[in-house]
Structure 1
Amino acid sequence: MPHEVQGVVSRAKGEPVSLETVLVPDPGPGEAVVSVKACGVCHTDMHYRDGGINDDYPFLLGHEAAGYVEQVGEGVTDLAPGDYVILNWRAVCGVCRACKRGKPWYCFNTHNAAQPMTLTDGTKLSPALGIGAFLDKTLVHAGQCTKVNPEAEPAVAGLLGCGVMAGIGAAINTGAVTRGDTVAVIGCGGVGDAAIAGARLAGARKIIAIDMDDRKLDWAKDFGATHTFNSRGKSEDEVVEAIQDLTESFGADVVIDAVGRPETWKTAFYGRDLAGTVVLVGVPTPDMRLNDMPLIDFFSRGGSLKSSWYGDCLPSRDFPALVDLYLQGRLPLEKFVTERISVDGVEHAFERMHKGEVLRSVVEFS
């Protein structure tokens, strides 16, 4: 029998979300039903609502979630009811060309549940990032469930499911920040602050936080920024000069663009040291273009230009390790939680996110 739960649905581009009855089927082969205990409100959910991902409406929003496995389907052997899990949107297949090359964090064929969740009239819902977790229960592929230490409360642990993992992974996995490096992070929202936390974990000696909002720069200090720079009203050249002034005139070893705009990427490109690394983890929109960059600059500066997908993470490896670091007091995940809200507060949370008033609003379920 399907479960009837209340979920947050986006029916049309740019329109406010609504709380509607959703039918969640019992799990089929390879699937699991998870009782969601907390789910962060992520920019990606707002992008779905606003048509920035695709137009496959209606969407069932929410994906940064933690909870308990309630049911498992046929053939599921590594999960059991009662397991405490973080949901992930990279359930690696194990057989694609990336997995076979020993790089499963680039898996090109990740798994999602085969059965749809629907509205009461039978309308199929498109779950955000294959999850859909702004509801009491959700149906996912069993591979989307990553078991972690249950001592970490869901409101904190669930944030590793997307934005926090993306930022930490951008620094550690993609950027390969290591002891003694200098790092600059452009954009100090949730992902940017997570990149700062990751750089600190990796032993960077200098971490420069760049944003246009003094409040966000203050938050960045809580995660390990050693220096801050307010870029409001400043040109790209002035921001590059500020990075150079703080790095013995060389530029940073790693510059992480957590905004994802042409101007911030160019700042990152020119703000790095020779043979330094640029990491793009902020998500551009399809209409954005890079213009007027001399090709000789790409050749003469050397180094690496990288995009970070989900922090190039492997959930089964990274989620448990980061939860353990949190429980040891070495990773301040709790500082990302600005407010705890009920499921009917998601639209207001989007407004606060857009204004830069929160790092994360987290929906909690009983």
Structure 2
Amino acid sequence: MTLRSVDVVVIGGGLAGLCCAIHLSKHQFSVVLIEKNHYPKHKVCGEYVSNEVLPYLDYLGFNPFSHGAKSITEFELTTHNNKSISTKLPLGGFGISRFKMDYELYLLAQNSGVKVIHDTVIDVQFEEDNFTTALKLGESISSKLVVGAFGKRSNLDIHFKRNFIKKKSPYLGVKVHAKGEFPDDKVALHNFKGGYCGVSKVEDNHINLCYITSYNAFKTYKGIDQFQKSVVFKNRALSHIFKQTDQVFDNPLTISQISFATKKPVENHILMCGDSAGMIHPLCGNGMGMAIRSAKLVSDVMIDFLNHKISTRQRLEVAYTKSWKKTFGLRLKVGHSIAYLFRQDWLAPKLLVLLRGLPFLIPQIIRMTHGKPIKME
């Protein structure tokens, strides 16, 4: 067993973990980031990012438009019975694949001095105000702080006996990339019975099609193709997009057991970040933005702690919990409520009629699930 000592260990190399590691490294702290997979890698994700995070990404040294990201300003919503409404996005966003963005942030992290280890964490122990992180291949790493950025659902959640992991989640996610005609500047959300699908452009003129559905709605059909033909394609907009485009992937990517249950921002003294701290419903289209923004929140409090501006670990954990809840608490509540309402098949068309009559409500609802541009001091 080899043992190294660093300031911070970041577990998980998605958007939250990578941004956090880069941020800390910019402040001259030693950081080890542990990611079990190799880059680049596709992930089931809507791949739309709110412009609220652009000032922070600029601070980190990452410009998504240098890597082919599409600027998005328009929004369209359709219901399962083919009613639609369109509006401009209050702040706007951009489309970029996780395949591209995670990989470019990984390269930036390495160039920033972050040590990246491709391995699996099997245990994290906290003793005498210090962490020891044990890896599957035998290495152990000592650190003052540990960040949990290991995603939606992980074996570590089971290992740490987190409350949300005890309950089975009824959601299934499916994603493909396709080539064909779709506006560069639009993100669309198409509702079907039992779920909804996000559509937007990413780099290389690929169209990202990512939908979420309940497992109960899916399990009565023999596979994805039959489910799409029998359920998803009842929405004419989705039927047109899927049938008029050519899939880039050999097979769709899928993920199950997606949990939107409440999580704690701090567990076993580990500061949780990104989806490990909480997930907003994809219906609200801002999971990537939340992950990136949470990286700044956790980095800021850790920097203050490591620079002795926060005097104790207890105060650090309280400060981070308050900051996280203040930033994301309302978003998550609104996201849960919107998702619940649109899951009611009888209600979704009525809501759309209401929104057509009161169009000013749509930008207001979008603002409630998104933040203002991050201020960089």
Could you tell me the TM-score, scaled by structure 2's length?
0.25
Could you tell me the TM-score, scaled by structure 1's length?
0.26
Q: For CA contacts below 8 A with separation 6 or more, give which structure has more relative contact order.
A: 2
